[in-house]
A and B are shown apart, each in its own frame.
Chain A
Amino acid sequence: MSAPSGALPASAAARSSLAREFWLQQAPLIAGALLLGVVAAYWQHGFLPGAERAFPVAEVRVPVWHVIWMGVWTGYTMAVVGEAAGIFALPYSMSILQFVNPSVTPSTQLLTFLNPFGALLGFRRSGQWNLKFAAAVCIGGAVGGLIGPFLRSGLLAAADVFHVAVGIALAIAGVHLCYAAFHAPARRVPGADARDAYREKVSIQARVSGLRILVSFREQSWDLNMLALFGVGAGVGMFASALGVGGGFLLVPIFASLYGLPMYVLVAATIPYVIVLSAVGLLTYNLVLPAFGSAPIAPEWSWGFFAAAGGIFGSWAASKTQMFVPEHFLKLMLGGVTGIVGTLYIINFFYPLPFKL
C-alpha cells in the first residue's frame, strides 16, 4: 500500500517539470509559429485569410483554427505511432480542405520542416544525437530535395498523376504501419532497454573509417556503408520532396528492417534528415526552380506556419503520452485508414470513383 502514497509526490514533481518543459520549450515555439503565420499572411497577401476570405494561394476558404487543428491531430496521432504529420496532413489538405493546386506540396513541406524541432530538442537533450551518423543520409536528403521539386513541376504536375503518387506513398505508409502493428510484440523484447534510453541521458557513438561508419549504442554496434546511406537519403528525398512530405515514412522502415537499427537510435539520423530535406525542398521550390527556368511553386506560407503551430503541440503531447497508449491497435487502425485512402487514390486514377477525392 505504500506505493501509491510514495508515487504521489513523484507524480506531482513530474507534473511540474512537464509544465515547465511546456512553457519554457514548447510554448515559445508554438507562439513563434502562430506569429509567423500572421506575419506571413500580411506579408504575402496583405490580409489574414480564413473562413471569410479564401487563402489566395491555396484557393480555399477554411477557418484558421481548422488549419491549426489539422496540425494538432495529424501531429498527435502520427507521432504516437512514430510517424510524422506530413503523410496525413497532405491527403487531408487535398481531399477534405480541397487544397489541390501544386502549392500544397511546399505548404506541407513547411509543416514537415518546423514540426520535428520539438523532437530534435528533446532527443538532443537525451543524447540521441550524432551528426557524423546523420551526415551521409542528410547530404543525400539535400541532393534529393534539389531534384524532387523538378519532378513535381514536370512529371507530377497534373493533379491526377500527383494523386496517384500520394496514393502510392500512403499505401506504403499503411502497409508499414500494419506490419509494425503485427510485429510489435517481437520488437518489444528489448523494451526495458528502450525505456531506459528515454529516461536517462545516453550517447550514440560513430566512428568513420573510409567509406564505412560504425555506429554504436551501449553494447550494440552497426557497420554501415556511407555511400548506401547517401543513396537511400537521395532516393527517399527525391520522392518525399516531390510530394511534400518529410520522408520518414520510407526512411524509418528502411533503417529498421534493412539495417536493424532500433527506433531510439535511428531517430538521431531521421529527425535531422526530415529537417534538412524539407529546408532544401522549400528552398528549391522557391528559388532553384525559377533559376532553372521553371515557374516557382510558392507555398501558402501562413498555412504552413499555422499547421506547424498545431503540429508542434500535437507531437509534443504525443511524446509525453505515447507510453500509455495502446500502440498496437492504433497502428492497425491508422495503417488501415492510410492504406485504404492510398488505394482509393490509385483506383480513382484508373477507374474514376463516384465521389470527390
Chain B
Amino acid sequence: MKDRAINFWWKVIPYMPFIVLFAAVLVAVYHVRFYW
C-alpha cells in the first residue's frame, strides 16, 4: 500500500509544476471574482 502511494507520487512529480500553475490560475480567478 505504502509502495503504491510512493509510486503514485513519483508519477505525479513531473506534472507538479503544471498542476501548481493550474491551481494558481484557479485561485487568481477566484480572487478576481470575489475580491475585486
A binds B: yes
Chain A interfacial positions (CB closer than 8 Å to B):
8, 11, 15, 51, 60-62, 66, 69, 72-73, 76-77, 80, 92, 96-98, 321, 324-326, 330, 333
Question: Hey, which chain B residues are within 8 Å of A324, CB to CB?
Answer: 10, 13-14
- Name the interface size band of chain B: 10 to 19
Contact across chains for B13 and A66 when beta carbons are under 8 A apart = no
Complexed CA–CA distance, A61 and B32 (Å): 11
Contact across chains for A96 and B17 when beta carbons are under 8 A apart = no
Contact across chains for A80 and B17 when beta carbons are under 8 A apart = yes
Question: Hey, which chain A residues are within 8 Å of B1, CB to CB?
Answer: none
User: In the complex, what's the smallest C-beta–C-beta distance from A233 to chain B, in angstroms?
Assistant: 30
Contact across chains for A76 and B17 when beta carbons are under 8 A apart = yes
User: A-facing mask of B7-36, CB < 8 A → 1, else 0?
Assistant: 000100110111011011001100110011
Is chain A's interface secondary structure helix, strand, loop, or mixed overall? helix
Complexed CA–CA distance, A7 and B8 (Å): 16
Contact across chains for A321 and B16 when beta carbons are under 8 A apart = yes
Question: Hey, which chain B residues are within 8 Å of A333, CB to CB?
Answer: 21
Question: Hey, which chain B residues are within 8 Å of A321, CB to CB?
Answer: 13, 16
User: In the complex, what's the smallest C-beta–C-beta distance from B11 to chain A, in angstroms?
Assistant: 10
* Inter-chain pairs besides A51-B35, A73-B20, 16 sampled, C-beta below 8 Å: A11-B6, A15-B6, A61-B35, A62-B35, A66-B31, A69-B27, A72-B20, A73-B21, A76-B17, A77-B20, A77-B24, A96-B31, A96-B32, A321-B13, A324-B13, A333-B21
